[in-house]
Structures are given as structure tokens and as C-alpha cells.
Structure 1
Amino acid sequence: MFDDDQEPLPAGELALQTIAMPADANFNGDIFGGWLVSQMDLAGAVSARKVARGRVATVAIDSMAFLRPVPIGSVISCHTQLLDVGRSSMKILVEVWITDHNDHRAKVTEGQFTFVAIDETGRTRPVPKDNCA
């Protein structure tokens, strides 16, 4: 049964985890949004490669929403969830949660990334259907 007092949890599985470092921050000590998007793209690619069983490329990022700043030193956890699979494409939800110096956890952003499976020449190829849940 759902408990209304229960804290929300990340959707999907942990695909990437790293630490927000000073080189990736602005003068206020907050992490650049572009750096965070690059981490999300890497996490989505990790998941898409599993589904595609090989090389993938990012073709679109939809519905980005930044909810709060990310301070230096936060542990960044990117969670992914497969939303849809087409002939060669995969739509993946990427949520980013941080854990701060006091072990408080919070969702900071999410976005929908679309990847396509590609062959060794960079042309699209079908996603193996037996690998789609």
C-alpha cells in the first residue's frame, strides 16, 4: 500500500554515479547545467547500449526540467528507465538525484532522451526485439 508520507524514489535503475567537482561549477559553486546534461546523456547511453546490444547515438533530448541547483561535492546518481522502443530507437527517461554532504537526497532534474541503434558505419539498425521488456 502507498504511504503518503513516504519519500519519492528514483525511477528505474542506477546507470551512472559520480561526484560534482569544482571544475564543473560556476562562481556560485553550483554545477553547470550542461555538465549535468552530459552526465545524463552518458547514463542514457549506458542503458540504450544494453537494449541495442551495441553502438547507439543520441538523436533528441525532450522535456528537460531543472528543479534545483547542484552544489559542488554532491554525489550525482543518474537513474534510467526505458519508456519505449521503436524499430531502431529507444526513448529513455533519465532522472538525476543528488546526495549532499549531510546525506540528504533530492531529485534535481529529469529528461527524456532518444537514442538510435547504429551499425559500424553509423547507419541505423534494428533494435533486437528479444531484448525489449
Structure 2
Amino acid sequence: MTIERGEVVLRVMPRLADINANGHIFGGWVLSQMDIAGGIVAHRIAQGAVATVAIESMKFITPILLGDVVSIYAREERRGRTSVAIRIDVVAMRGAAQEEVELTNGVYTFVALDANYRPTPLPES
């Protein structure tokens, strides 16, 4: 765990099927992985079901390449009454030298849900 990035929530390696027409990993693939990682952290905070309600910011820094080992870090950035914003940073270990490469980052907002899938207050922190 690092202070700046939060905890490593997922570590994955994209497959050949995840390549776009430019030979890089499809942007939707990484958005999906980020949503999964953010959802894990938000679920833990909410102590129950959550739903993604917004991607407040998203920045692609460097293309993801086939063979990259992608690590997705997440941490709570801020909390509302029923929602929590999760900061997500994505880095890769690349090549034989295992160089760390910053790939993308963003802030995803999740809302806590009750049994009827309606927003519900977050537990006290």
C-alpha cells in the first residue's frame, strides 16, 4: 500500500482480445477494470451494495500495451451523505526491466443502495 495511491485492489494482464484497432488496449477495458476496483472499495465503505453514478474525471496518460501487468490502486477521496468518491490510479509494470508506467487515473462516484436499490446513507466512518 502506498499513501498517495491507496491500496492495490486489482492486478490484471490484458489479453489479445482487449486490443483496439491501434494495437493498444481498448479504453473501455481499463474503464471497466477501474469501475470494478472502485466498486470493491466503495462496497467496503458502504458495507453493502453500491452503484456507479459518475466518472467525475478521467485522464489517459499512456497507452496500455499487450504484456503490461496492470495494477489498479484506489482510495477514498471524499464522502457525502449517500455517496463516496474513489480516486483510482492505474500503473503498469512494462517490459523485461519491469519499468513502472503511469497509465490513467480518475475519480469515480458510487452511491450506497438499500434493499430496494434506492440511495441510503453511508455508515458513520
Q: Same fold (TM over 0.5)?
A: yes
TM-score range, shorter chain: over 0.9
> Secondary structure in 2 aligned to 1:39?
helix
**Which residue in 2 is equivalent to 1:112?**
107
**Which residue in 1 is equivalent to 2:91?**
97
Aligned counterparts of 2:69 and 2:14: Cα–Cα separation in 1:
6
Q: Which runs of 5+ in 1 are unaligned?
A: 1-8
State the one-letter code of the partner of 1:105: E
Q: 1:52 aligns with which of 43, 46, 49?
A: 46
Verify: 1:13 aligned to 2:36, yes or no: no
Aligned counterparts of 2:115 and 2:61: Cα–Cα separation in 1:
38
After TM superposition, give the deviation of residue 10 of structure 1 in Å.
5.7
Question: TM-score with structure 2 length normalisation?
Answer: 0.92
Q: Which structure's CA Rg is the greater one? A: 1
State the one-letter code of the partner of 1:30: H
Verify: 1:82 aligned to 2:76, yes or no: yes
The alignment covers a number of residue pairs equal to: 122
Q: Which runs of 5+ in 2 are unaligned?
A: none
Q: What is the identity percentage for the equivalent residue pairs of Structure 1 and Structure 2? A: 41
- Do the aligned residues in 2 keep the contact of 1:56 with 1:115 (CA within 8 Å)? yes
Question: TM-score with structure 1 length normalisation?
Answer: 0.87
Deviations along 1:62-107, one digit per CA (max 9) or x if unpaired, are 1110001110121111101101111110001000001113211111
